[in-house]
DNA sequence: AATAATGCTTCAAACGTTTGCGGATATGTA
DNA sequence: TACATATCCGCAAACGTTTGAAGCATTATT
């Protein structure tokens, strides 16, 4: 039963005993149409709720005004901030965003890319899934290149893949976080690392390591444990850390979620934060300002990343022959709160 | 420079000096095509990366296999859970979800609906924006009805609008939360209410009020303050509550965010939770299990709602003449944690 | 009165794909 | 040799819209 056939321009043409061309021109205010004809047609169109079929227009103009946004999840603050930034720039320009969530799944990511290309979207913003990283797959990106569809990496990227990207300087963000811990007098600093292989994970890890090196602090394997970005994935690792003969006096979490998980475990153990143990997260998600104690964290300008990524896309669209891919890296900002502010 | 024109069926036809029909049939394994021809064509298509133009197919078949999901935001746990549920059912059936974020903005919501209809999507899942509520607008929904496009309400709905919906029993969820507080011995219970007018807000509010009535507890205007669902919107209201001559001994937050905001303020005041003050949230977002103390909350089955909403859509698609809209209401579940568990 | 100009409208092609029908060639049967 | 039957392929229309070019009245210009 569902769909009563939508009114078409032909239907209107029949009603007025004129040709579809006339109706089209009338609706688009073409000057070479009689004033009365135009008015009548427009009134009637409004009355019957005519809506132009964008599908046919897309076919005709080879333009869909649609962009794909392919991300592993939309549950975290950063991702939604990026999407908001994309939206802020691109929606006013008439673009529709087609948001696809891969759930960290490679096959789904591939399927989405194919589907988006089949649907003739005009550009893709991609943060690659974890599985894609793990397996080192990237053939599914070739089809995008082959079609010369602009591809912009956001957040999670392939370092070796030649395309534009807008990312955050995770390395220096992490470095600053650990340096801050050191300046606060913490010396035995653990890291709840993300899943191995992801650029964000490894960059933050590298920042952590390099900072320890700079200050001649020991790097201990047992102080580095993987998590999967979720709160609950921090619980067991944190317990293991605190059970060590020489437990850490600070924990740097790969994101806010795991830092909050660690906070919970530390409090359960009766540890005082920041006196007994310091905690740092990453992302500056809204909640971090209101945990107790509030969480020191590294802010990522997600909205700005989205806006920069949009700019990269637009540049590529209007680019000349000698177009070179751009690499935008925005700084991360250390936000000092109570969880590390111990007056030594 | 960007787009090298995608390969079409005509290009392939030229290459093999045959007609487009033949290519089409070869690619679709039509039996009336010579084995060799088919093989050659398919090989060549693969080689040059041919991808069928879904836009033209949509036009031809009047089917886009795309559904619109229009929500006020994607920042909260519940919303992403719903989307995941929709996805779980509909993605395997070949549907693409077009996720649109209205930012609580009426005009944007209207624009999205129009655009989705113009793009000939086959169904819409809608959680209405706050502005839409406030102003009581709903003409923009008429166009959806007029086109007989299935419309399913999720979460935020218009009670008076005749369509299918899948929602959570906020009323009884709130009632259970407050009843639990009463059973724990709390007597002076405040409510951090959401923005007025929203169904979810009002239902939870009603549950709160009715429960107080049932137990003959006073209902005090000054214990009811509006928030906007965000953490920070709970700070000032909570301070005002705690500054009252007779401050509340428990706070029921309209969602987890505001409850966590309240938790922060209470702790700043040196109040012990749950001994001095009880706290309840709503949504069971992952973090609530790991705050300190963990937060008692009311769980909403977001994923299930998404799946049920999908079912409603599919029902409507295959419905006969005597189709009636369905109204699915799933129960909310009280999840008791430390923030209210005082042993009286 | 012939020509030019103006105002309004229709024709036809195009976008990429599918599909019923008819056509052509080759093979089998009488 | 004539006819039926497979086997394979092309024609053309369709989906809804836009748009350059051409058509046709009517009015203006010489």
- pLDDT number for residue B59: 97
Which residues surround strand D, with CB < 7 Å?
A: A 5-6, 8-10, 20-21, 24-25, 27-28, 50, 52-53, 56-57, 59-60; B 17-22, 32-35, 37, 56, 59-60, 62
Nearest CA-CA distance, residue A214 and chain B, Å? 34
Whole-number average pLDDT of chain A? 93
Question: What pLDDT does A344 receive?
Answer: 57
Task: Kindly state whether residues A238 and A153 are assigned to the same domain.
Answer: no
A130/A240 same-domain check? no
In a domain, A259, yes or no: yes
At B271 the three-state DSSP class reads coil
In a domain, A144, yes or no: yes
Q: Is the pLDDT of residue B1 over 50?
A: no
pLDDT band of A324, cuts 50, 70, 90: confident
Strand D positions with any atom < 7 Å from protein CB?
7-12, 14-20
B309 lies in the same domain as B256: no
CA distance B271 to chain A (A): 12
Assess if residue A264 is contained within a domain.
yes
Q: Are residues B292 and B174 in the same domain?
A: yes
- For residues A212 and A259, membership in a common domain is answered with yes
pLDDT above 90 (res A343) = no
Reported in sequence order, the residue ranges of A64-176 that DSSP labels E, i.e. its strands, are 66-71, 96-101, 124-126, 151-154, 164-168
Q: How would you classify residue B148: left for phi > 0, otherwise alpha for psi between -120 and 50, otherwise beta?
A: left
For the cut 80, the answer to whether the pLDDT of residue A320 exceeds it is no
CA of B65 to C1' of C14 (A): 25
Best probe of the B interface among A93, A107, A119, by most B CBs < 10 A, is A119
How confident is residue B344, by pLDDT bands cut at 50, 70 and 90?
Answer: low
Are residue B306 and residue B162 in the same domain, yes or no? Answer: yes
A41 and A76 both lie in a single domain: no
Q: Angle at which helices B35-47 and B20-27 pack, to 10 degrees?
A: 90
Residue A1 has pLDDT above 60, yes or no: no
Q: In what order do the strands lie in the sheet with B124-126?
A: B96-101, B66-71, B124-126, B151-154, B164-168, B327-330
Q: Who among B64, B290, B291 is closest to A55 (CB)?
A: B64
Q: What is the mean pLDDT of residues B11-18?
A: 95
pLDDT digits (tens, 9 = 90+) for B30-86: 999 999 999 999 999 999 999 999 999 999 999 999 999 999 988 889 999 999 999
Looking at every residue in chain B, the average pLDDT score rounds to: 93
The model's pLDDT over A11-51, given as tens digits with 9 standing for 90+, comes to 999 999 999 999 999 999 999 999 999 999 999 999 999 99
Which of B267, B286, B321 has its CB closest to that of A292? B267
B263 and A CB contact within 8 Å: yes
Asked whether residue B5 is domain-assigned, the answer is: no
Please tell me the distance from the alpha carbon of residue A59 to that of residue A70, in angstroms, as a whole number: 24
Distance CA A47, CA A58 (A): 25
pLDDT category at A74 given cuts 50, 70, 90 is: confident
- Separation CA A312–CA B336 (nearest Å): 48
- Position A321 scores a pLDDT of 66
Residue B120 shares a structural domain with residue B267:
no
Residue A2 pLDDT greater than 70, yes or no: no
In chain A, the percentage of residues whose pLDDT exceeds 90 is 84
Please tell me which residue lies nearest to nucleotide D10, judged from CA to C1': B19
Q: What is the sign of the dihedral through the CA atoms of A276, A177, A189 and A204?
A: positive
Angle, vertex CA A162, rays to CA A77 and CA A194, nearest 5 = 35
- Please state which of the ranges B105-119, B147-161, B255-269, B275-289 shows the lowest mean pLDDT: B147-161
User: What's the confidence (pLDDT) of residue B343?
Assistant: 77
Both B209 and B234 in one domain: the answer is yes
Q: What is the structure's pLDDT at A238?
A: 98
- Asked if residue B179 has pLDDT above 60, the reply is yes
B64/A59 Cβ within 8 A: no
Residue A38: inside a domain, yes or no?
yes
**CA of A58: which chain B residue's CA is closest?**
B55
Beta-bridged to residue A193, according to DSSP, are A226
Q: Is A340 on the interface with B (CB under 8 A)?
A: no
Nearest alpha-carbon partner for B262 in B289, B284, B293: B293
> Which CATH number covers residue A207?
3.40.50.2300
Position B163 scores a pLDDT of: 92
Answer whether residue A1 is part of any domain: no
Residue A173: predicted pLDDT: 98
pLDDT, residue B321, reads: 66
- Residue A21 is part of which domain span? 10-52
3-state secondary structure of B46: helix
pLDDT above 70 as % of chain A: 98
Looking at the structure of chain B, the number of domains it has is 3
pTM, full prediction:
0.92
Whether residues B179 and B246 share a domain: the answer is yes
CA distance B147 to chain A (A): 6
**What is the average per-residue pLDDT within A83-103?**
93
Q: Quick one: pLDDT at residue B242?
A: 98
Domain membership of residue A5 (yes or no) is no
Can you give the pLDDT at residue B133? 77
Contact A323 B77 (CB under 8 A): no
Which of A64, A75, A321 faces B1 most closely, judged by CB atoms?
A: A321
Say yes or no: A112 and A135 in one domain.
Answer: yes
Q: Is the pLDDT of residue B192 over 80?
A: yes
Residue A172 has pLDDT above 90, yes or no: yes
Sign of CA dihedral A327, A230, B256, B101: positive
Structural domain contains residue A318: yes
Report whether the peptide linkage leading into residue B192 is cis, meaning its omega lies within 30 degrees of zero: no
In which band, very low, low, confident or very high, does the pLDDT at B2 lie, cut at 50, 70 and 90? very low
């Amino acid at each position: 039963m569902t769909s009563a056939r939508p009114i078409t321009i032909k239907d209107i043409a029949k009603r007025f005993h004129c040709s579809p061309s006339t109706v089209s021109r009338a609706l688009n205010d073409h000057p070479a149409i009689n004033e009365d004809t135009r008015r009548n047609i427009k009134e009637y169109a409004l009355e019957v709720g005519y809506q132009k079929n964008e599908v046919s227009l897309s076919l005709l103009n080879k333009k869909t005004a649609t962009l794909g946004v392919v991300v592993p999840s939309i549950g975290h603050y950063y991702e939604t901030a990026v999407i908001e930034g994309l939206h802020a720039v691109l929606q006013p320009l008439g673009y529709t965003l087609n948001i696809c969530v891969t759930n960290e799944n490679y096959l789904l990511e591939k399927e989405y890319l194919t589907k988006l290309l089949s649907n003739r979207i005009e550009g893709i913003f991609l943060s690659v899934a974890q599985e894609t990283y793990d397996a080192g797959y990237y053939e599914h990106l070739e089809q995008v290149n082959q079609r010369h569809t602009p591809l912009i990496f956001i957040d999670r990227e392939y370092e070796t893949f030649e395309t534009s990207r807008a990312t955050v300087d995770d390395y220096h963000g992490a470095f600053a976080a650990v340096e801050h811990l050191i300046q606060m007098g913490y010396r035995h600093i653990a890291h709840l690392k993300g899943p191995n292989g992801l650029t964000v994970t490894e960059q933050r890890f590298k920042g952590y390591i390099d900072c320890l090196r700079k200050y001649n602090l020991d790097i201990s394997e047992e102080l580095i444990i993987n998590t999967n970005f979720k709160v609950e994935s921090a619980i067991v690792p944190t317990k293991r850390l605190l059970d060590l003969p020489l437990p850490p006096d600070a924990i740097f979490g790969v994101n806010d979620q795991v830092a909050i998980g660690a906070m919970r475990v530390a409090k359960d153990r009766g540890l005082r934060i920041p006196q007994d143990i310091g905690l740092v997260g990453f992302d500056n998600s809204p909640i971090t300002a209101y945990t107790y104690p509030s969480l020191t964290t590294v802010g990522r300008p997600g909205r700005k990343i989205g806006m920069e990524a949009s700019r990269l896309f637009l540049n590529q669209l209007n680019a000349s022959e000698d177009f070179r891919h751009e690499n935008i890296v925005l700084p991360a900002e250390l936000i000092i709160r109570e969880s590390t502010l111990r007056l030594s």
